[in-house]
Each structure stands twice: as C-alpha cells, then as structure tokens.
Amino acid sequence: MHTDAIAFAGYGTPDVLEPTAIDVPDPGPGQVRIRVHATTVNPLDLKLRSGAMAAFMPLNLPYVPGLELAGNVEASGPDVRHLAPGTAVFGAASHTYAGFALADAHRLAPIPQGMDYPHAAALPVAAEAAWRALEELDVDAGQILLIHGAAGGVGTLAVQFALARGARVIGTASATGIAHLTALGAAATTYGTGLAERVRALAPSGVDKVLDTSGADVLHDSIELAGNPDDVLTLADPMAAQAHGVRFSSGGGAGDRTADALAAVSTLHDNATLTQRIHQVLPLSQAARAHRIAEAGHLDGKIILAP
C-alpha cells in the first residue's frame, strides 16, 4: 500500500523536507502496521536531516524521519496476538512522518485510558531514555538523585520515575524551569557558576547518583558531588563522558527499554501523577516549520506532528 509522507532527498535546512508518497509493506512476523495519528520532532530528526550525523549514520535517501508515534493498529503480523486491529497504541518506530508506519509489536503498548494521541506520541523516546538511565544507575528508594536538565522532556520523566521509586530528586534547570520542577516534587536549583555549592546546600552530604540530560559541562561537578564517576551517567555528552571516565548511555539494540518505559508511564498516568508538556501541535504538512521552531530552541515540551 502507499501512504503520504514527509521526506528529505538531500541533507540541508528544514526546507529539504517535502511531501512524498511511500510504500508501506504488510507487517511481517512481530510487526504491526499503524495508522499514525501523531508523531513528534526529536533532536535526532534535526541532526539526521541537516547531515550532522551523516558520517556516523549514513542514510538511504530519500529518507522519512520520525522515531515515535501514537495511532491505531491497522494490521498485525501473523504471530502478533496482543495488539488486535483497531487497538490504540503508542511507542517507538521508524519513519513515522507518514500516514502509516510499521513498528515492532514489542516496542508498542496500548494507550492508557483518557490519554490523547498527541500526549501519547510525546512519551516513548523520552520515557525510554529516562527509564534506561535510572536502570543503568540503579536508582533506588532512599537515594538522592541529581538530574541535570531536569525540566526538559527526558528530565521531567526521570524526575517522576525516580520519585515513584522513592528516591529524593534534586534537579538543575534554567530559572524558568524551577517552578516546574518544584511542582513535580523535586528540589531545584539553577545552572551556572556555583552549581556544586547550591546543590550541597540542598544535600550537605552529597548525592548518591547523577544523571546528566543537558550536556552542559556539568560532569566535573557531578563527580565531585557523587564522589565516584561510576555513579554518574550522561545521556547527552559522549566525548565529555570519555574524558571524565563516566558512563554514557545511547540505548538501541539490547539496551532498549521501550517496553518497560511505556509500562512505567502508563502506571504514572493511571495513578494521575504523570506530568508532561507539549509545545505545539502542527499538521504533518508543516514539518519544515516544525523543524525551524525546534532549531530555534526555547521549547517547553515536544512539537507534535499530526498526519
């Protein structure tokens, strides 16, 4: 079958994103075909389109971006029993800037009751990264977790996951993000000079674990606060991680925690404790505009594209 999509045939500015038609094959073993009702703009979409990742992730052009979706199962592979046609689902997938997309069934979950498509689509990538980081750090009840970039999409979910585990959370953010963090139940302080001293004022004995989602040159202070580079993990800065001897987590392959992350956000939603923010919802036809908005920065949530 064919579906309308947005693709780029060459690297460049957002203007290389253009409408196209693509083939969507029937789902194979372990797969489902999804009618996409919402997808999102992620930082990786911007890097792939611009060519910034071309040396590391060469693409077959033309390329349809997209990493996550929410929609309805339209057809299931021969061995998929738990996601019947018509089921509203959300999860991780590739090439989601389209009316239909294929996805691995194990990276999808039913959308929780009462959650709409845009909010569901905004969750999978950020939730997987946040959940994976907490698992790799082995964050547990009673520990103090410091999260850099805590007001961002990944940080906001990491705060909520950690609090649900019984950890105490200290988040760093810009001045405009402090109220958001305190509303979530975290202690909060701002970035910049004197960061370590401000964190020590909140945790005089230091912290147990540190998660960096910001890439804002915070690893030296983080090691000092945690006392051990093994207790520091970054999702944002692989080069600095190597230089400081801390862990970097990029996910993918056997490290993918999508299924667990979707279950965790569903639990938060069902307990009425899930908080998330959406910056803007745009039609898929305005993907180029969405990329320009994302590149300008200062977002207070995900940009949603609705096919």
Q: Is the pLDDT of residue 297 over 90?
A: no
* pLDDT value at residue 253: 65
Per-residue pLDDT averaged across 214-241, rounded? 93
pTM over 0.75: yes
Q: Is the pLDDT of residue 56 over 90?
A: no
pLDDT band at 235, cuts 50/70/90? very high
Per-residue pLDDT averaged across 65-83, rounded? 95
* Per-residue CA distances from 272 to 124, 267, 268 (Å): 18, 9, 6
End-to-end CA gap in the chain: 17
What are residue 282's DSSP bridge partners? 305
Q: Which amino acid is at 202?
A: L
Q: What architecture is the 2-123+276-306 domain classified under in CATH?
A: Alpha-Beta Complex (3.90)
Q: Is the pLDDT of residue 298 over 90?
A: no
Q: What is the pLDDT of residues 103-122, one digit of tens each?
A: 999 999 999 999 999 999 99
Per-residue pLDDT averaged across 177-197, rounded? 94
* Residue (of 40, 80, 236, 63) closest to 149 by Cα position: 236
Bigger pLDDT: 70 vs 57 = 70
70 burial (CB, 10 Å; 0-12 / 13-18 / 19+) is buried
Average confidence score pLDDT of the chain: 94
Domain boundaries, the chain: 2-123+276-306, 130-248
Q: What is the pLDDT of residues 138-147, one digit of tens each?
A: 999 999 999 9
| From the candidate CATH numbers 3.40.50.720, 3.40.50.1980, 3.40.50.2300, 3.40.50.12780, the one assigned to the domain spanning 130-248 | 3.40.50.720
| Cβ-contact 235, 255 below 8 angstroms | no
pLDDT band at 68, cuts 50/70/90? very high
